[in-house]
Protein backbone atom coordinates (compact mmCIF):
# COMPACT_ATOMS: atom_id res chain seq x y z
CA UNK A 1 0.00 0.00 0.00
CA UNK A 2 1.41 3.39 -0.99
CA UNK A 3 2.06 5.85 1.80
CA UNK A 4 1.34 9.55 2.01
CA UNK A 5 3.04 11.38 -0.83
CA UNK A 6 4.27 14.95 -0.63
CA UNK A 7 6.03 17.28 -3.01
CA UNK A 8 8.32 19.02 -3.29
CA UNK A 9 10.69 17.60 -0.68
CA UNK A 10 12.69 20.81 -0.40
CA UNK A 11 11.97 24.41 -1.24
CA UNK A 12 14.01 27.57 -0.78
CA UNK A 13 12.32 30.92 -1.33
CA UNK A 14 12.88 34.54 -0.38
CA UNK A 15 10.63 36.28 2.10
CA UNK A 16 7.48 37.76 0.63
CA UNK A 17 7.43 35.12 -2.12
CA UNK A 18 4.68 32.52 -2.45
CA UNK A 19 4.97 28.76 -2.19
CA UNK A 20 2.65 25.77 -2.47
CA UNK A 21 2.92 22.23 -1.16
CA UNK A 22 1.03 19.21 -2.39
CA UNK A 23 -0.14 16.11 -0.54
CA UNK A 24 -1.72 12.85 -1.70
CA UNK A 25 -3.02 10.81 1.26
CA UNK A 26 -3.27 7.06 1.58
CA UNK A 27 -6.08 5.73 -0.57
CA UNK A 28 -9.34 5.55 1.36
CA UNK A 29 -8.26 7.87 4.16
CA UNK A 30 -10.98 10.45 4.65
CA UNK A 31 -9.11 12.63 7.11
CA UNK A 32 -6.12 14.74 6.09
CA UNK A 33 -3.91 16.89 8.29
CA UNK A 34 -1.25 19.53 7.68
CA UNK A 35 1.30 20.01 10.44
CA UNK A 36 4.13 22.51 10.79
CA UNK A 37 7.31 21.30 12.48
CA UNK A 38 9.81 23.97 13.42
CA UNK A 39 13.34 22.73 14.06
CA UNK A 40 13.68 21.23 17.51
CA UNK A 41 9.94 21.13 18.20
CA UNK A 42 7.11 18.70 17.84
CA UNK A 43 4.69 19.07 14.93
CA UNK A 44 1.80 21.50 15.34
CA UNK A 45 -1.49 21.12 13.51
CA UNK A 46 -2.30 23.80 10.97
CA UNK A 47 -5.48 22.40 9.44
CA UNK A 48 -7.55 19.22 9.42
CA UNK A 49 -9.91 18.12 6.64
CA UNK A 50 -12.64 15.49 6.79
CA UNK A 51 -13.23 14.61 3.14
CA UNK A 52 -13.25 18.08 1.57
CA UNK A 53 -14.57 19.97 4.60
CA UNK A 54 -12.46 21.80 7.18
CA UNK A 55 -12.70 20.35 10.69
CA UNK A 56 -10.10 22.45 12.50
CA UNK A 57 -8.11 25.43 11.23
CA UNK A 58 -7.82 27.27 14.52
CA UNK A 59 -4.02 27.47 14.36
CA UNK A 60 -3.73 28.34 10.68
CA UNK A 61 -2.41 31.90 10.13
CA UNK A 62 -5.19 32.75 7.74
CA UNK A 63 -3.72 36.07 6.69
CA UNK A 64 -0.98 34.22 4.80
CA UNK A 65 -1.76 30.50 4.81
CA UNK A 66 -4.50 28.78 2.86
CA UNK A 67 -5.33 25.16 2.15
CA UNK A 68 -7.81 23.25 0.09
CA UNK A 69 -8.77 19.68 -0.51
CA UNK A 70 -10.74 19.53 -3.70
CA UNK A 71 -12.72 16.33 -4.30
CA UNK A 72 -11.70 15.05 -0.87
CA UNK A 73 -8.43 13.48 -1.98
CA UNK A 74 -5.33 15.59 -2.75
CA UNK A 75 -4.62 18.73 -0.80
CA UNK A 76 -2.59 21.88 -1.37
CA UNK A 77 -1.17 24.18 1.30
CA UNK A 78 -0.13 27.67 0.22
CA UNK A 79 1.83 30.42 1.91
CA UNK A 80 1.55 33.94 0.52
CA UNK A 81 3.60 35.94 1.35
CA UNK A 82 6.19 33.91 3.22
CA UNK A 83 8.00 35.18 6.31
CA UNK A 84 11.30 34.07 7.78
CA UNK A 85 9.51 32.35 10.66
CA UNK A 86 7.71 30.07 8.19
CA UNK A 87 10.94 28.11 7.75
CA UNK A 88 9.96 24.63 8.89
CA UNK A 89 9.05 21.15 7.72
CA UNK A 90 5.46 20.87 6.56
CA UNK A 91 4.07 17.43 7.20
CA UNK A 92 0.96 15.95 5.70
CA UNK A 93 -0.79 13.06 7.44
CA UNK A 94 -3.89 11.01 6.83
CA UNK A 95 -6.09 8.64 8.77
CA UNK A 96 -9.24 6.62 8.32
CA UNK A 97 -12.37 8.47 9.33
CA UNK A 98 -12.44 8.26 13.10
CA UNK A 99 -16.06 8.54 14.07
CA UNK A 100 -15.46 7.33 17.59
CA UNK A 101 -11.74 6.90 18.10
CA UNK A 102 -8.74 9.06 17.38
CA UNK A 103 -6.99 6.76 14.97
CA UNK A 104 -3.35 6.56 14.11
CA UNK A 105 -2.18 9.11 11.60
CA UNK A 106 0.26 8.19 8.85
CA UNK A 107 2.72 10.84 7.84
CA UNK A 108 4.38 11.74 4.58
CA UNK A 109 8.08 12.57 4.24
CA UNK A 110 7.44 16.29 4.60
CA UNK A 111 8.48 19.39 2.69
CA UNK A 112 11.40 21.30 4.16
CA UNK A 113 10.88 25.02 3.53
CA UNK A 114 13.65 27.55 3.95
CA UNK A 115 12.74 31.23 3.75
CA UNK A 116 15.71 33.57 3.27
Partner 1 sequence: AQKVTQAQTEISVVEKEDVTLDCVYETRDTTYYLFWYKQPPSGELVFLIRRNSFDEQNEISGRYSWNFQKSTSSFNFTITASQVVDSAVYFCALAWNQGGKLIFGQGTELSVKP
- What does the binding site for partner 1 look like in residue numbers (CB under 8 A)? 31, 33, 40-45, 48, 50, 55-56, 89, 91, 93, 95, 97-110, 112
Residue 23's nearest CA partner among 3, 1, 50 is 3
**Between 38 and 84, whose beta carbon lies closer to partner 1?**
38
How far is Cα 91 from Cα 41, in angstroms, rounded to an integer?
A: 13
**Between 18 and 38, whose beta carbon lies closer to partner 1?**
38
Least distance from C-beta 1 to partner 1, angstroms? 14
Residue 54's nearest CA partner among 70, 38, 43 is 70
Least distance from C-beta 62 to partner 1, angstroms? 17
The answer to whether 70 and 52 are in contact (CB under 8 A) is: yes
How far is Cα 112 from Cα 1, in angstroms, rounded to an integer?
A: 25
**Between 3 and 85, whose beta carbon lies closer to partner 1?**
3
**Between 8 and 98, whose beta carbon lies closer to partner 1?**
98
The answer to whether 114 and 8 are in contact (CB under 8 A) is: no
Least distance from C-beta 15 to partner 1, angstroms? 24
Least distance from C-beta 31 to partner 1, angstroms? 5
Amino acid sequence: EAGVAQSPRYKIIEKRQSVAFWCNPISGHATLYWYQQILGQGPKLLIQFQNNGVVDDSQLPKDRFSAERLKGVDSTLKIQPAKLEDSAVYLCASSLSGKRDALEQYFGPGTRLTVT
